[in-house]
């Protein structure tokens, strides 16, 4: 081989490494917690890779493993109370309206069993003279647990436990201490406690929002050792001694003179009874499936790296031990529905490890299928769903044997690991009650195993890269790629890092490819990743912002077909929501309130002050129209027209004329999740006008329902309009009651600014300025998804410096406020994936906007992003753009017209309009002069 050839190969290799570094997350150490692990997924299966050098975990999920079962969530005849609720709101009786709604207008919970007999049984333990409450009880055989745990005992080792649990600890007092009374402060307990000091009951409280402050008379205390025993009763959800959310506040004992004895630390505990009666819930929760546990021999590890390569869609781990290089790769294949991994050693016979499966679900079962395959069966507690997973290991060299559900691999060169999983879920209103699903899953696993690892990897990368490579972004700053991602995140607060912003955009695209594929479920609150039996907010679908935000970047960032799972979900919700519309509003069409789940519940849930919000369906319909605007395929609207029409008919029936103003309003409702139950929140009316506009355009497009279209066009201007309040703000409600000091995370009344397009600088300048004022009043800080929405708001306001400020806040290390975890997962906190998607969309909005009359190029470009290249960015009208800028000025713009629509461009005040031909590209300079 010539020197020139060697030079070129070296150059290409270095270039490939550069490209990889530009689009990778990487770390110098294994993950110690879930928010440091790296995600892989194929829409059906998701996994988090820890990458340990001695102990590794692959925690995995299957998209359809949820609690609950198919059922009706609707309260029959709830509409009979609708007028009474409205009347109370008209009279200013908000509290009475909410109370009536809680009694008669909320959805139905799942089955609840009478707990009386169970409570009586566990109470007998309190009455035992020598029982756990006793001063002299010997708790040495009990296990230890950390107390307090604000997010429940789940986070300190008792995950999945409901029932009665005893806790014991001791404290010491001097003779001087016994001269005064003391107060025991445990703050909050989830959910009921019986608390004893030296064998005597000092307090009993039910309810996890009540502060536990129990007076202890000095006569009840002892010099020296004193005992505390607490029986905690938790029938459902999180349990335990919670203490204070602010960890600087401690649980403990306070004397009247101000002395404090802290009680935080290791307590003894005993699970008395975890077999609780069923307690009803409004909706279901997404569940973890299990984990692969892998153990390698211990050794001195050197040169460790762990990375997620966004170009290849795979995680890698590499290190050396005793002069042997070890490499591991992990990926999740959509074509073959498998999570696969390859473990390699650089020398033959040097790869040894054990691997097995386990699960947090009680009673899971492991069985041997053959010499290299295990199966795990799980059942969701008190639910209809069960799952089965298969683990197979193939070796090159070495040997393998199974013992007690563990596969032992010895002295191999290469080991290939394959994991598949499935459940008995069939559709939102049906589960498989036979063994057919597990037989089908076993056959699918056997079929996958016929392909080699190389073939599986090639098929995965061909499928993945066909989506990923449609789009690229380079904002410069490549030198920062040499810094590990966790360190880079910390440094971004002080040092600008354009490359990290570009990485965040591509990471958002990666997460969507991994969590939302055709014929899978829509991405939930955590995409497809969850490790908790009691995840925050059920890890389900919150439809007053979070579900929709998951799909904000889909069209713009060139992943249009990944919108389809949401459209399938909308189709199912439109069916389920018809009964809810009838039972709650006696209306035609369909409705969706602020939350839904795998079983497509559409009724109001949780609490009347935020759960009665009927415009979730209206918002989702706008996603159908956005998909059409980007792709210009009328056949798509034809296939969903009946859904658009159904949502429209609902609001045609439900809007009522306000007695004071004469406007048509939505009532009862709320401005999510702020201010309680009201008449006519601004966001509702923005959404309804947007829905009606979509119907008018759609019915015109498909040439149907002319009379209905005419009536809707007459109704639109009669709906309560946007209003400007006394502080110059856009009013959140019909009344001018916005509090300038309210810093609530939701800024829902700016929906018409983004993602809507009713408020623009060109057509509604006064409202545009009022929206800006509202945003200034609300403040910058917030939870992760709230920060992401504010990026989009400020970009739409064309305020580049403020937009960049919000990007910096989103890309800050997560603490008690929103930001990003070490693996760049968005922090509410805890993790919610909507901020990742919303943030990626907001960065796109800085560079391109197409919601108004013109396609605006670089409308909110910060000074810190002085140069860049972005290819494959999409605009409404079915245009695809490549934008190159230098020294903060457009250099070259290329527009590909994919439908032959008229093109209207704007850059720095200069505008052009020209006809285009389908599949023809047009190039422009900084003055929008066309280049040949």
Architecture of domain 23-68+284-450: Distorted Sandwich (2.70)
Q: Tell me what pLDDT residue 22 has.
A: 65
From the number of C-beta atoms within 10 Å of its C-beta (0-12, 13-18, 19+), residue 138 rates as: exposed
Q: Which among 867, 841, 814 is positioned nearest to 496, based on CA atoms? A: 867
From the number of C-beta atoms within 10 Å of its C-beta (0-12, 13-18, 19+), residue 103 rates as: exposed
Tell me how far apart the alpha carbons of residues 211 and 202 are, in angstroms, rounded to a whole number: 14
What phi, psi does 366 have (nearest 5°)? Answer: -110, 135
Quickly state the pLDDT bin for 884 (edges 50, 70, 90): very high
Kind of pairing between the strands at 855-857 and 903-907: parallel
Predicted TM-score (pTM) of this structure? 0.94
Mean pLDDT confidence for 574-583: 98
Q: Tell me what pLDDT residue 20 has.
A: 41
How many whole angstroms from its chain centre is CA 22? 26
Weakest mean pLDDT among 56-60, 158-162, 167-171: 158-162
Tell me the domain boundaries of the chain: 23-68+284-450, 116-273
**For 463-519, how does the pLDDT look when each residue is reduced to its tens digit (9 = 90+)?**
999 999 999 999 998 889 999 999 999 999 999 999 999 999 999 999 999 999 999
3 state DSSP class of 203: strand
Q: Which residues pair with 527 in a beta bridge?
A: 524
Cβ–Cβ under 8 Å, residues 664 and 721: no
Quickly state the pLDDT bin for 373 (edges 50, 70, 90): very high
More confident residue, 570 or 382: 570
Does the CA dihedral 797-802-804-809 come out positive or negative? negative
Q: Tell me what pLDDT residue 557 has.
A: 98
Does the CA dihedral 592-595-599-603 come out positive or negative? negative
Q: Establish how many alpha carbons lie within 13 A of residue 465's alpha carbon, considering only the half-sphere containing its beta carbon.
A: 10
Q: Which residues pair with 188 in a beta bridge?
A: 243
- State in words which class domain 116-273 has: mainly beta
How many whole angstroms from its chain centre is CA 61? 14
The mean pLDDT of the chain is 95
Mean pLDDT confidence for 46-58: 98
Kind of pairing between the strands at 855-857 and 889-897: unpaired
Cβ–Cβ under 8 Å, residues 177 and 255: yes
Q: Tell me what pLDDT residue 5 has.
A: 38
Kind of pairing between the strands at 819-820 and 826-827: antiparallel
Q: What is the CA radius of gyration of the chain?
A: 30
pLDDT above 50: residue 43 = yes
Q: Tell me what pLDDT residue 237 has.
A: 87
3 state DSSP class of 35: helix
**62-66, 150-154, 275-279: which has the highest mean pLDDT?**
62-66
Q: Establish how many alpha carbons lie within 13 A of residue 272's alpha carbon, considering only the half-sphere containing its beta carbon.
A: 23
- Give the pair of three-digit tokens for residue 204: 């009993």
Tell me how far apart the alpha carbons of residues 96 and 614 are, in angstroms, rounded to a whole number: 20
Mean pLDDT confidence for 437-456: 97
Q: Tell me what pLDDT residue 336 has.
A: 98
pLDDT above 70: residue 7 = no
Cβ–Cβ under 8 Å, residues 628 and 637: yes
Cβ–Cβ under 8 Å, residues 364 and 49: no
**For 185-199, how does the pLDDT look when each residue is reduced to its tens digit (9 = 90+)?**
999 999 999 999 999
What does the DSSP assignment read for 311-337? Answer: TTTEEEEEEEETTEEEEEEEEEETTTT
Quickly state the pLDDT bin for 6 (edges 50, 70, 90): very low
**For 716-729, how does the pLDDT look when each residue is reduced to its tens digit (9 = 90+)?**
999 999 999 999 99
From the number of C-beta atoms within 10 Å of its C-beta (0-12, 13-18, 19+), residue 919 rates as: exposed
pLDDT above 60: residue 3 = no
Residues in contact with 83: Cβ distance below 8 Å, sequence separation at least 6, in sequence order: none
pLDDT above 60: residue 96 = yes
From the number of C-beta atoms within 10 Å of its C-beta (0-12, 13-18, 19+), residue 588 rates as: middle
Mean pLDDT confidence for 600-625: 98
Mean pLDDT confidence for 885-903: 98
Cβ–Cβ under 8 Å, residues 59 and 648: no
- Give the pair of three-digit tokens for residue 594: 């602020």
């Amino acid at each position: 081989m010539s020197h020139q050839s060697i030079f070129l190969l070296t150059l290409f290799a270095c270039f490939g490494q550069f490209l990889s570094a530009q689009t990778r997350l990487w770390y110098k150490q294994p993950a110690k917690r879930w928010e440091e692990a790296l995600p892989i997924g194929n829409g059906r299966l998701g996994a988090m890779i820890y990458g340990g050098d001695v102990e590794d975990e692959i925690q995995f999920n299957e998209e359809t493993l949820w609690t609950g079962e198919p059922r009706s969530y609707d309260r029959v005849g709830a509409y009979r109370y609708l007028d009474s609720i409205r009347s109370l709101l008209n009279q200013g009786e908000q509290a009475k309206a909410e109370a009536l709604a809680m009694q008669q207008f909320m959805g139905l919970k799942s089955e609840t069993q009478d707990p009386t007999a169970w409570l009586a049984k566990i109470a007998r333990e309190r009455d035992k003279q020598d029982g756990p409450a006793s001063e002299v009880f010997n708790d040495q055989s009990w296990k230890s647990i950390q107390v307090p745990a604000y997010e429940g005992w789940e986070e300190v080792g008792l995950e999945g436990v409901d029932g009665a649990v005893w806790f014991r600890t001791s404290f010491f007092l001097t003779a001087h201490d016994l001269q005064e009374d003391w107060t025991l402060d445990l703050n909050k307990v989830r959910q009921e406690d019986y608390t004893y000091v030296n064998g005597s009951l000092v307090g009993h409280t039910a309810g996890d929002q009540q502060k536990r402050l129990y007076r202890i008379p000095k006569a009840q205390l002892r010099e020296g050792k004193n005992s505390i025993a607490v029986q905690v009763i938790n029938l459902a959800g999180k349990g335990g001694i919670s203490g204070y959310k602010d960890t600087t506040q401690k649980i403990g004992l306070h004397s009247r003179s101000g002395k404090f004895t802290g009680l935080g630390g290791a307590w003894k505990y005993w699970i008395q009874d975890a077999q609780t009666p069923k307690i009803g819930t409004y909706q279901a929760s997404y569940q973890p499936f299990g984990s692969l546990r892998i153990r390698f021999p211990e050794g001195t590890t050197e040169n460790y790296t762990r990375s997620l390569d966004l170009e290849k869609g795979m995680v890698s781990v590499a290190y050396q031990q005793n002069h042997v290089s070890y490499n591991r790769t992990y990926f999740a294949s959509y074509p073959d529905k498998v999570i696969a991994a390859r473990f390699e050693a650089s020398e033959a016979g040097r790869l040894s490890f054990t691997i097995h499966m386990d699960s947090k679900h009680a009673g899971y079962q492991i069985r041997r299928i053959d010499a290299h395959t295990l199966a795990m069966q799980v059942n969701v507690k008190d639910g209809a769903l069960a799952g089965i997973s298969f683990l197979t290991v193939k070796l090159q060299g070495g040997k393998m044997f199974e013992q007690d559900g563990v596969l032992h691999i010895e002295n191999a060169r290469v080991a290939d690991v394959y994991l598949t999983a499935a459940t008995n879920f069939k559709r939102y209103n049906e589960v498989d009650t036979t063994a057919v699903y597990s037989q089908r899953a076993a056959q699918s696993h056997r079929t996958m195993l016929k392909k080699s690892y190389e073939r599986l990897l090639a098929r995965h990368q061909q499928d993945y890269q066909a989506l990923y490579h449609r789009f690229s972004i380079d904002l410069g700053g490549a030198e920062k790629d040499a810094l590990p991602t966790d360190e880079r995140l910390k440094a971004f607060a002080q040092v600008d890092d354009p490359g990290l912003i570009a990485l965040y955009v591509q990471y958002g695209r990666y997460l969507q490819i991994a969590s939302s594929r055709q014929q899978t479920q829509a991405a939930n609150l955590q995409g497809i990743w969850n490790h908790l039996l009691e995840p925050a907010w059920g890890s389900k679908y919150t439809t007053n912002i979070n579900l929709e935000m998951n799909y904000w970047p889909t069209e713009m960032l060139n992943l249009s077909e990944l919108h389809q799972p949401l459209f399938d979900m909308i189709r199912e919700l439109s069916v389920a929501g018809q009964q809810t519309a009838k039972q709650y509003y006696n209306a035609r069409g369909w409705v969706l309130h602020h939350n839904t789940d795998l079983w497509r519940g559409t009724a109001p849930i949780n609490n009347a002050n935020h759960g009665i919000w009927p415009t979730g369906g209206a918002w989702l319909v706008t996603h159908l129209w956005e998909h059409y605007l980007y792709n210009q395929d009328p056949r798509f609207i034809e296939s969903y027209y009946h859904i658009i029409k159904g949502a429209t008919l609902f609001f045609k029936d439900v809007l009522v004329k306000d007695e004071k103003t004469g406007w048509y309003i939505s009532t009862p409702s709320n401005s999510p999740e702020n201010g309680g139950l009201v008449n006519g929140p601004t966001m509702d009316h923005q959404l309804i006008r947007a829905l009606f506009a979509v119907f008018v355009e759609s019915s015109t497009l498909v040439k149907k329902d002319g009379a209905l279209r005419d009536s809707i066009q007459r109704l639109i201007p009669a709906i309560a309009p946007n209003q400007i309040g006394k502080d110059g703000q856009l009013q959140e409600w019909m009344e001018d009651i916005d509090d300038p000091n309210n810093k609530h995370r939701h800024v829902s009344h700016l929906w018409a600014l983004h993602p809507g397009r009713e408020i623009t600088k060109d057509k509604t300048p006064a409202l545009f300025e009022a929206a800006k004022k509202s945003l200034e009043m609300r403040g910058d800080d917030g939870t992760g998804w709230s920060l992401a929405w504010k990026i989009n708001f400020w970009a739409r306001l064309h305020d580049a410096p403020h937009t960049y400020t919000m990007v910096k806040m989103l890309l800050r290390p997560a603490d008690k406020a929103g930001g990003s975890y070490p693996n760049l997962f968005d922090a509410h906190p805890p993790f919610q994936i909507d901020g990742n998607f919303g943030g990626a969309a907001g960065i796109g909005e800085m560079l391109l906007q197409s919601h108004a009359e013109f396609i605006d190029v670089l409308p909110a470009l910060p000074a810190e992003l002085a140069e860049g290249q972005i290819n494959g960015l999409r605009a409404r009208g079915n245009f695809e753009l490549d934008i190159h800028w230098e020294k903060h000025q457009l250099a070259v713009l290329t527009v590909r017209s994919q439908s032959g629509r008229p093109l209207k461009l704007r850059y720095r005040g200069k505008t052009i309009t020209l006809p285009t031909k389908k599949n023809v590209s047009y190039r422009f300079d900084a003055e929008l002069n066309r280049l040949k």
